[in-house]
């Protein structure tokens, strides 16, 4: 049965390309949009209090298949294929192709070439935008906003060490479905860190366990290398070295660096065994 998180299909409606593969009352062509807000929630249902499944960042493309007329749009994210409901107000028709992405944990967009101006908004790591030109220490976006040039990098830039990216989030509050320094969860942390290194990843920890790297013996916790991934049911942690991991977790309600063996023992005591070690 197709994974509903990755399949734009409901009993009443599905994507046209799924015709003949899934059952639905009707099939529709999708429309291309991009996320215009700094961060847009993708929810399980069309309501502000529905479960946050993930977040889409500015510049991300999304295919929309349905609008409910009450401010919500149902579609599929281009980057990781996640399906859900987004606020209609967070979407716009695609403008210029992005050229740069935010490389800092977050940055500010100013309405003019001065840091003394009230910022228009902040942008999270991974947000994308077209840069029209440089002006002094600023990059000027296609819509006329000024961002600190040192906070941006070319869209195809790749970090050398995704673990170092994850380490920068230490102290970030834990947020189920979160993908920014305002709040992040375990699989969101891994996805954002890998993306900074040019590695595409699916969103949830079970998807990541199934699709990333090759498996090591879960008993071989004395052979951990930097960048290895530890998986429990519903959780993932990133190995920093033979002794420590970095992970966003609900126990600490934050992204923390923790002794690997102590974490494994603590999580086991709470009822979850380590189920996999993956090496990229």
Q: What is the pLDDT of residue 70?
A: 97
**Three-state secondary structure of the chain:** CCCCCCCCECCCCEEHHHECCECCCCEECCEEEEECCCEEEEECCCCCCCCEEEEEECCCEEEEEEECCCCEEEEEECCCCCEEEEEHHHEECCCCCCCEEECCCEEEEECCCCCCCCCCEEEECCCEECEEEEECCEEEECCCCEEEHHHEEECCCCCCCHHHHHHCCCCCEECCCCEECCEECHHHHHHHHHHHCCCCCCCCHHHHHHHCCEEECCCCHHHCCCCCEEEECCEEEEECCCCEEEEEECCCCEEEEEEHHHHHHHHHHCCCCCCEEEEC
pLDDT band at 220; cut points 50, 70, 90: confident
pLDDT digits (tens, 9 = 90+) for 179-203: 999 999 999 999 999 999 999 999 9
Q: What is the pLDDT of residue 67?
A: 98
Among 151-160, 204-213, 218-227, the range scoring the smallest mean pLDDT is: 218-227
Q: What is the pLDDT of residue 183?
A: 98
Q: What is the pLDDT of residue 3?
A: 97
Q: What is the mean pLDDT of residues 66-88?
A: 98
Q: What is the pLDDT of residue 221?
A: 77
pLDDT digits (tens, 9 = 90+) for 121-180: 999 999 999 999 999 999 999 999 999 999 999 999 999 999 999 999 999 999 999 999
Q: What is the pLDDT of residue 218?
A: 82
pLDDT digits (tens, 9 = 90+) for 88-115: 999 999 988 999 999 999 999 999 999 9
Quick check: pTM over 0.85?
yes
């Amino acid at each position: 049965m197709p994974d509903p998180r990755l399949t734009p299909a409901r009993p009443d409606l599905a994507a046209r390309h799924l015709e003949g593969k899934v059952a639905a009352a009707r099939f529709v062509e999708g429309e291309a949009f991009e996320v215009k807000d700094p961060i847009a929630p993708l929810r399980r249902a069309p309501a502000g209090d529905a479960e946050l499944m993930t977040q889409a960042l500015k510049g991300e493309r999304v295919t929309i298949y349905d609008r409910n007329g009450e401010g919500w749009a149902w579609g599929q994210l281009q980057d990781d294929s996640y399906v859900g409901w987004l606020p209609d107000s967070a979407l716009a028709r695609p403008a210029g192709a992005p050229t740069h992405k935010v490389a800092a944990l977050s940055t500010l967009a100013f309405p003019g070439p001065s840091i003394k101006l009230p910022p228009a908004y902040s942008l999270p790591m991974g947000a994308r935008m077209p840069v029209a030109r440089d002006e002094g220490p600023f990059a000027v976006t296609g819509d006329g906003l000024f961002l600190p040039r040192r906070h941006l990098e070319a869209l195809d830039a790749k970090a050398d060490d995704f673990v170092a990216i994850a380490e920068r989030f230490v102290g970030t509050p834990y947020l189920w479905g979160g993908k920014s320094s305002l709040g992040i969860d375990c699989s969101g942390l891994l996805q954002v860190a890998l993306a900074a290194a040019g590695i595409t990843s699916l969103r949830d920890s079970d998807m990541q366990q199934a699709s990333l790297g090759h498996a090591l013996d879960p008993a071989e916790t004395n052979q951990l290398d930097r960048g290895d991934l530890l998986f429990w049911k519903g959780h993932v942690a990133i190995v920093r070295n033979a002794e420590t991991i970095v992970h966003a977790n609900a126990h600490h309600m934050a992204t923390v660096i923790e002794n690997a063996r102590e974490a494994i023992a603590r999580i086991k005591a709470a009822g979850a065994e380590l189920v996999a070690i993956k090496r990229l």
